[in-house]
Chain A
Amino acid sequence: MKQLFIIILAIPTLAFAGGMDRLKAFYQNTTSMRANFNQTVVDSQGRKVQEVTGTMQLQRPGKFRWDYNKPYVQQIVGDGEKVWLYDPDLNQVTVRPLSKTLGSSPASLLAGSKDMEKSFTIKDEGRQDDLDWVQATPKDADSGFERVYLGFKEDALQQMELHDSFGHITVIEFTKLERNQKPNAQAFRFTVPAGADVVGE
């Protein structure tokens, strides 16, 4: 692994870098990220079953925040120790330790450190739609997703695809990407709203 990093660093003018290299560069060079996202879920017959939009922020290690804005509001906040999921309409907060979600949730996956190979088997997937793709297969069979694809343009993550065991595909596209801007530390703190029910998973 170390040798691979040295080789990559030694050849900065490499004309074509595959998805694996993009992924490593992403984990090395992106300490924080903000973006808008559009998430679409299609079922095994190709029918669109969900479309949601929102904003995401992350700061390594382990801090992230996904705000779903449309068609309904939902927040997923990783404060470095715990992951909080809040649905205002349901008035319910579900909380889990971060360590239990690192290998499974895509939000946690992105906010993790570069040793994601502990939780995922990584494979180069070549180039498609102008993006360099890697496939990440969770080693934990209970993670909810069978395979995750990450699509990079240069070092920037542009798209994710999550495939579950029922043939559903979740596509997350990122736009208005900003990298390594100083994030607002408040963003990664979650305060339980008064009156909300809090449950562990």
Chain B
Amino acid sequence: MPVTSRQPLLATFVGVLFILTGCAGIKPQNTTPLPASTPEIHAQHLATIATISAFDLQTRIGVQANGRGFSGATNWKHSATHDNIAIFSPLGAQVATIDKTPNGVTLIADGKTYYADDTETLTQKILGWSLPMQGLPDWIIGRPSPSKIEQSAWDEAGRLTKLRQDGWDIEYSQYVSTSGYQLPQKIALRSQNLNLKIIVERWLLSESHP
């Protein structure tokens, strides 16, 4: 019998200290390229977003690898120690879930559970494309990861527009203002074998108190 239960939204997010926003409406920003930033301005921007300790975001993604591809949606919950990513088909069916903890990574798809030490290996093996989880939690909020920066460009508001790191070329074409932060809304990531386009539908942030 078809049953659709609707319960109140529960804050299940582990480690949430302070929920800054509900479903904040995303307002598209001007995408015109801006003059280069000064190091002071982008340091200031990075200092502001450094207070983001956790996020819960809904995205649409487009994946292209060797002429094959996938488009769909994701729901990604990130905290300092834990990542949970659910991947959905365009019609809403969940196709996979990825759970990353300090102990390793689990991927569930087609009713089977797979384990590995890192997400890159596991997604490459099971989904056929490698999700760059080493850098993505930093890249998604618009900052370089701790590894070596090969190239970067910033706009006059101090926001990243281009970044080259870990064999990835990352381009930020649109930012959105949410809860006082300037956060990426459209990101394109390219590696030798993979194109990954991400559109953020909704940001939900948690902030750590200094």
Contact = CB atoms under 8 A, between A and B. Distances in A.
Nearest to B73: A50
A125 interface: yes
A47 to B, nearest CB: 6
A145 B90 contact: no
Nearest to B197: A90
Contact of A89 (B88, B195, B199): B199
A169 B6 CA distance: 11
Contacts, number: 113
A171 B5 CA distance: 11
A41 B67 contact: no
Interface residues of B, number: 39
A92 B71 contact: yes
Interface stretch (A3-11, A110-118, A160-168, A174-182): A160-168
Given A90-B60, A170-B92, A151 B2 contact: yes
Nearest to A41: B92
Contacts of B61: 90
A166 B86 contact: yes
Given A92-B62, A92-B197, A199-B64, A162 B4 contact: no
Nearest to B3: A169
A13 to B, nearest CB: 28
B71 A45 contact: no
Interface residues of A, number: 47
Interface in A102-158: 105-107, 125-126, 128, 133, 141-142, 144-145, 149, 151
A76 interface: yes
Interface stretch (B93-101, B116-124, B176-184): B93-101
- At the interface, is chain A mostly helix, strand, loop or mixed? strand
Given A45-B7, A92-B197, A199-B67, 13 more contacts: A39-B91, A45-B12, A48-B6, A87-B90, A91-B62, A92-B62, A92-B64, A133-B2, A165-B110, A199-B69, A200-B67, A200-B68, A200-B69
Interface of A: 39-42, 45-50, 71-72, 74, 76, 85, 87, 89-92, 94, 105-107, 125-126, 128, 133, 141-142, 144-145, 149, 151, 161-162, 164-166, 168-171, 197, 199-201
Which 8 pairs show the lowest CB-CB distances between chains A and B? A199-B69, A90-B62, A166-B94, A46-B7, A41-B92, A170-B92, A92-B62, A46-B5
16 contacts: A48-B6, A49-B75, A50-B88, A71-B201, A72-B60, A85-B90, A87-B90, A89-B60, A90-B71, A105-B91, A125-B1, A142-B110, A151-B2, A165-B110, A166-B97, A201-B69
